[in-house]
Amino acid sequence: MAIVGAGYTGLWTAYYLAKADPSLRIVVLEAETVGFGASGRNGGWCSALFPVSSQRLASLSSRDSAIAMHRAMQASVNEVGLVSAAEGIDCDYHKGGTIVLARTAAQLARARAEVAEAGEWGPGDLRFLEPDEVASQVRATKVLGATFTPHCAALHPGKLVRGLAAVVERLGVTIHEHTPVVSISAGQAVTQYGVLRAEVVVRATEGFTPSLAGEARTLAPVYSLMVATEPLPEATWDQIGLADRPTFSDHRHLVIYGQRTADGRLAFGGRGAPYHFGSRVKPSFDVEPRVFGALQSTLRSLFDGLDDVAFTHAWGGPLGVPRDWCASVGIDHQSGLAWAGGYVGDGVSTTNLAGRTLTDLILRRDTRLIHLPWVDHRSPRWEPEPLRWLGINAGLRAMTAADTEECLTRRNSRIARLMSPLLGG
C-alpha cells in the first residue's frame, strides 16, 4: 500500500488501514517532512464545515445524503478528539465551538439567513446570538450579533500531525521523508530515487498536487496566511474573552479565522494572497508582508487592547481548491488509484473522514461512509493558463471588493451574489 503525502489525509488513511488490518505493508512517501503542507500550518479549526453547501451536496445526490454528510462531519470533529486522547497525542484539542460575528448590517442579515437555512437541513445546531449573548463569550468591536455552532474544536495543527505520524509508525507504517514523487499510475509511485510498486496508490497531496505529472489542473494551490501574537496577559484576556477557546471569525466575504491558543496567543489568518501563475508553489510565496500587515490590522480592529501587542510569528502555505470547490474521496478499483482532497481550507476534520472512508473503500467494506455524496465525485479540471490565473485572482479581488461595497451600501453585496455559484454556494 503506497500513500503519497504525509499530511493529515495520508496519515489518517495509514492509521485506519493499519488498525483494520495489521498485516498490511503501508508506506507513506513525503516530498519534504511530515506535515510540511497545510496539515502543519493551518488555523487549527477542527470543524464540521464542508466547502460546499448542503444544497449543492443534495444536488449531487439527495437531501438525505446531504444530511448524512453533515452528520458525518460533526462526528469527525469528535473522532479527532477521541483518537488524540486514546493515542496520547497532545495537540491542545478543546471543543469550544465556533462564533462568527456580524459587525455590519449586511453581515447581520447574512447571519440570520444562515441560521434559517441551517434549520432546513437538520437539528438547529447553528444558533443566532444577540449582542449580549456574544459578549458572554467574546467581547469584540461593533458587534450586532453572531452565529454559534458547538461543532468545532481548536487544536495545534503541528502537534496533531507530528503526533499522528509517531502513532502510525508505532503501528508498523513506514514513512519516507524527503522522497518526492513525480508521478503516480496504476500499481506504482515514481520517485526521484526509484519506483515503489503497490497494489493501491493513494494520492494525498492537496495543494501540492499540481507537482505530479498530469495533475496540473486537478487542484489549484491558493495561499492562506497567518500571524500570531505574543502570549497575552490575563488582563487582556479578561477584556477579550474567549475563555472557552471558541474559534472565531466574522461574516465578511474574504475569509478570516482565528483562535485563542493553549499557550495564550491569538493566532489569526485569512485569504488575500495571490494565486501564482501555473499553479506554482514556492517557499517564497509563504511570505506576503502586505497580507501579514492586513491581518494584523484586521485583528486589532476586531478587539480593543491590542495596539501595543507584538506579533511574533507569521507564516503561510497553499491549500487545494477544486474547480467546483467540492472536496472528494474515491478509488478506481481497476487501476488501484485512490485519492482524497480539495478541502478548500476545511481539512482538519474532513481529512479524518477521508481516512476512514478510504479505508472502507480500499478494503471493500460496505459501510455508510462509502455512500456519502462526496465519494467518487469528480470535479471538473481547472482552465488552462492564463485563464486560471485571471479567474482565481479576479475572484480573490472580488471578495475584497464585496466587503468594501457592503461597508458603503450597508446592503448585501451584488458582487458576492454574482460570485457565489463559483465559490461553493
pLDDT for 198-216, tens place per residue?
A: 999 999 999 999 999 999 9
pLDDT at 378 over 50: yes
Give the CATH number of the domain where residue 192 resides.
3.50.50.60
Side-by-side strand order, sheet with 266-270: 127-129, 145-149, 98-102, 247-250, 256-260, 266-270, 220-229, 311-321
Segment 240-249 shows an average pLDDT of 98
Give the CATH number of the domain where residue 109 resides.
3.30.9.10
What is the per-residue pLDDT for 424? 47
Q: Which three cell numbers stand for residue 4?
A: 503519497
Task: Examine the domain organization and report whether 214 and 163 are in the same domain.
Answer: yes
Task: Examine the domain organization and report whether 376 and 275 are in the same domain.
Answer: no
Answer with the residue of higher pLDDT: 404 or 305: 305
Closest by Cα among 343, 157, 154 to 258: 154
Task: Examine the domain organization and report whether 214 and 230 are in the same domain.
Answer: no
Cell 456574544: give the residue: 134
State what percent of residues in the chain have pLDDT above 70. 95
Burial of 183 (0-12, 13-18, 19+ CB in 10 A): middle
Q: How many domains does the chain have?
A: 2
Task: Examine the domain organization and report whether 14 and 64 are in the same domain.
Answer: yes
Q: Are 142 and 135 in contact (CB under 8 A)?
A: no
State what percent of residues in the chain have pLDDT above 90. 89
**What Rg value do the Cα atoms of the chain yield, rounded?**
21
Model confidence over 382-402: pLDDT tens digits?
999 999 999 999 988 887 777
Average pLDDT, the chain: 94
Task: Examine the domain organization and report whether 54 and 140 are in the same domain.
Answer: no
What is the per-residue pLDDT for 23? 97
Q: Which domain holds residue 359?
A: 1-93+155-219+324-382
What is the per-residue pLDDT for 406? 72
pLDDT band at 124 (very low <50, low <70, confident <90, very high): low
Task: Examine the domain organization and report whether 228 and 358 are in the same domain.
Answer: no
Cell 467494506: give the residue: 365
Task: Examine the domain organization and report whether 13 and 67 are in the same domain.
Answer: yes
Task: Examine the domain organization and report whether 261 and 349 are in the same domain.
Answer: no
What is the per-residue pLDDT for 418? 63
Model confidence over 264-312: pLDDT tens digits?
999 999 998 999 999 999 999 999 999 999 999 999 999 999 999 999 9
pLDDT at 8 over 80: yes
Least trusted range by pLDDT, from 97-101, 205-209, 250-254, 351-355: 250-254
Closest by Cα among 157, 135, 145, 179 to 347: 157
